[in-house]
Chain A
Amino acid sequence: MTVHQMPADNTKPAYNYAYLDEQTKRMIRRALLKAVAVPGYQVPFGSREMPLARGWGTGGIQITAALIGPADTLKVIDQGADDTTNAVSIRKFFERTADARTSEATEEATIIQTRHRIPEAPLKSGQVMVYQVPMPEPLRKLEPREAETRKMHAWAEYGLMQVKLYESIARFGEVTTTYDYPVMVNGRYVMSPSPIPKFDNPKMHMSPALQLFGAGREKRIYALPPYTSVKSLDFEDHPFRIQSWSQPCGLCGAADSYLDEVVIDDRGGRMFVCSDSHYCETRRAEGHRGAMLGDAAASGLVEETNP
C-alpha cells in the first residue's frame, strides 16, 4: 500500500469542502460562466467521477459543489418532494461534505437542486436552481451522433425537431411529449429543460432566478441567466398547453399545482396530491384542506397539521 491509503491513526482522511478539489470547482465555474454567457448552449466540461452513481444527479451535484458556501441554504428535491430517497441521499452528501445548512422551504433556499420538478412557489432573484439532467441533447432522439447534433445547433438547424412535433400532431392531434418538452432559449438554442413535466416549462420563462443545468455522465453544463426568454416549441395553430387535472389536490385543495396520482387501494381508488411536498404542507399549515385530508390523516399517511 502507498502512503496515501494508510493515514496515521490520529488523522482522519479528509475530503475538500464540498468534496471537489478547488481546481475542479474553478473548472466547473468557468464552464458555468460560459454557459451563462451563451444561454442554452451546452458547454462540455471535465465531469468528474463522483461517489454517487452516474444518472443519479452527478451533474447537478458537481454544480452545487462548485457553488455552495457556508452562507448558503440548500434545498434538494426529487419529483418535487424533499423526502424522496435520492433527494435525501444528496442532501446528506452536502450535509456531510459541506456542512450545508439545508431547508425544505423553497423561499429560504439560496440553492435548490432538483430532479424533474420546479417548485410551485415562485422563485426569487438571487436564488439558484440546479437541475439534474440525464440527456442534455434535445436532438439526441432524432440524431444519435454527437458530432452531428453539435453541427445542427451551430447552424440553428432545428427543422427536424419541428417535423417531429408536426408528425406527433398529425398522428394524435397534439404534441404527445409530456415531459422534457423542448424549449427555444433566447430565440437561439433549442434546449432540453430536463425531464420536468411540461407543466413546469412556463416557470422557466423570464424567471428571476439563475437556472443551471448539469449532465454529469454526458459531461455538459448549460444555463439560463435570470430573465431569459424560454419558449416551448409549438405551432401557431397548435399552441403549447400544459397538463390540467379534473380535481384539486386531495390534501390541500390546491387547483394550481402539479398533481401526483396515488393508488390507495386495490379497487381502483385514486387520490391526487401535490407533487411539491413543501407547497402542499405550507398550504395545509395555512388552513387549506383537501377533500381526502381527513382520511389520509386517519390512516397515518400524513400528519395532520392544525392551523
Chain B
Amino acid sequence: MYVAVKGGEAAILATHDLVAEARRGDPAVPEITVAQIREQQALACARVMNEGSLYDKDLAALALKQSQGDVIEAAFLMRAYRTTLPRFGSSEPLDTAAMAIRRRVSATYKDLPGGQVLGPTYDYTHRLFDFALMEEGREAEPRKASAPLDATMPRVPDILGAEGLMEAEEPPAGDPRPFDLTRDPVSFPADRDVRLQSMARGDEGFLLGLGYSVQRGFGGSHPFVGEVRVGEVAVEFVPEELGFAVDLGEVTLTECQMVNQFQGSKDVPPQFTRGYGLVFGHSERKAMSMSLVDRALKSRDFGEATNYPAQQDEFVLYHADNVEAAGFVEHLKLPHYVDFQGELELIRRIRREREERLAQERGAKEQDTMPEAAE
C-alpha cells in the first residue's frame, strides 16, 4: 500500500530492536541467565519442551528467555528449530515401569507394591504467598529419607491387567513404526498413535478444558487415577553398525494412566479401560488431561456414542496445536484491506439498492393514497 511508502522494511527492522529492548527490561536489573531459567523455571521449561516437541532443557530455557516468558512463542521457537534437525533413527520403546521414581501416586489403591511416593508437589501446599522468596539467598536444606525407595514400582494398570480386568493394549499387528505427524499429513479417523502424539504436543490449556468437559458430562467418563508417576527413564538406541542398544541418556517423564469403566459388549466382558498420558518433564496436569481425552477419543473404538467435542478426533487434533492455532488467530492482524474493500463495496451497494427500493415503495403508497386524501 502506498501509504506505507517503502517504510515497511525499516519499520520491521525497528520492531526487532524494540522487542530486544522490551525483553531486557530495566538494564539496572541483572539479566536473567538461561541456566537460571532451566533450573528455577523447570515447569515452564517442561511445558515448552512438550508443546515444542523437543526434549532439550537448555533450548527450552533459551526459548523462554528469548520470548520473554511467552510459552507459546517459546514452543514455536523450539518447533521451528526441531523441524530442521536430521532424524537419525528411533529409540527403543521407553520402559516407564523401570522409571527412577520421584513421585508416584495412585487413587485406586490405598497401598500397593512400592507404596505412594508423594515427591515434589504443590498438591498439599497452601496457596499463600511466601514473601520470603522476595529476597534471594535462602537455601533449602534437603532432608534425606531414612530408607531408599523400593526397587520395583509396578504400574497400576499392569496390576489390574494381571487379573484380566484391564483392557489389554497390544501394539497393532506387525508393530509398525508410529506415525510421525510432523512429516506426514494426518487423515481421519486418526489412529491412536496419531492421537497420542498430537495430544503430547497439544496445548495444555486446551486439553485441560476438554478433559474437564468430559468430567462435567460432555462425554460420559468416570475415571480414576490409576497412577501418576514422575521420574527419569533411560533412552536406548540401537545403532545399525553396532546391533545392540546403547544408552543415550535419560529423560524426565510424567505418565498418567486413568482407569475408566466400560460396560462390556456382546463379545467383550465388562472391564476397565485405559486413558493414557505421557509427557516430558514434571507436567501432571497435562498428563492427566491427556489421559482423560485419550479415553474420550477411544469412544468410537468401543462403539460408544461420540456426541461431544472431546470424543471427536478431528475436533481435538485439529485444534489442540497451539502453535498452529496462534498463527492462524494472529494472522488476522495481517492486512486484509483487499477483501475488506470487497465487503465495503457490497454492503454499500446493497444498502443503496435497499434505500432505492424502499423509496419506490413509499412513492407508490403515496400515489395510492392521494385520491382518497383528495376526497
Contacts and interface: CB of A to CB of B under 8 A. Distances in A.
Interface of A: 1-2, 4-5, 15, 19, 21, 44-51, 53-56, 58, 78-81, 83-89, 92, 115-117, 134, 144-147, 172-173, 176, 178-180, 195-199, 217, 219-220, 243, 245, 251, 258-262, 273, 275, 277, 280, 296, 301-303
A56 B80 contact: no
Contacts of A197: 338-339, 341-342
Contacts of A116: 336, 338-339
Contacts of A178: 339, 342-343, 345-346
B183 A46 contact: yes
Contacts of A54: 323-324, 326-328, 331
Q: Is the interface of B mostly helix, strand, loop or mixed?
A: helix
B327 A199 contact: no
A253 B138 CA distance: 73
A105 to B, nearest CB: 15
Given A21-B84, A44-B187, A83-B5, A260 B346 contact: no
B334 interface: yes
Given A78-B334, A217-B327, 12 more contacts: A2-B56, A79-B336, A79-B338, A85-B335, A146-B188, A146-B314, A172-B350, A176-B346, A196-B338, A199-B342, A273-B2, A302-B5
Contacts of B346: 176, 178
B217 to A, nearest CB: 23
A301 B3 contact: yes
A15 B84 contact: yes
Contacts of A199: 342
Contacts of B186: 219
B83 A260 contact: no
B370 to A, nearest CB: 30
Interface stretch (B7-15, B97-105, B358-366): B7-15
B334 A217 contact: no
Nearest to A196: B338
Interface of B: 1-9, 11-12, 56, 58-59, 76, 79-80, 82-85, 182-189, 314, 318, 323-324, 326-331, 334-339, 341-346, 350, 353
Nearest to A89: B12
A245 B344 CA distance: 11
A23 B117 CA distance: 47
Contacts of B188: 145-147
B328 A47 contact: no
Residue with the greatest number of chain A CB neighbours at <10 A, chosen from B9, B331, B353: B331
Contacts of A145: 188, 314
A198 B346 CA distance: 12
B1 A277 contact: yes
Of all A-B residue pairs in the complex, the 4 with the closest CB atoms, nearest first, are A54-B327, A178-B342, A55-B331, A44-B185
B5 A303 contact: yes
A217 B324 contact: yes
B351 to A, nearest CB: 11
B331 A85 contact: no
A116 B344 CA distance: 16
A50 B83 CA distance: 8
13 contacts: A19-B84, A56-B334, A83-B1, A84-B8, A144-B314, A146-B188, A146-B318, A147-B314, A178-B346, A245-B345, A259-B341, A260-B1, A262-B3
A49 B83 contact: yes
B301 to A, nearest CB: 16
Contacts of B344: 261
Contacts of A4: 85
A259 B337 CA distance: 10
Nearest to A81: B1
A48 B335 CA distance: 24
Contacts of B76: 53
A217 B83 CA distance: 14
A46 B181 CA distance: 8
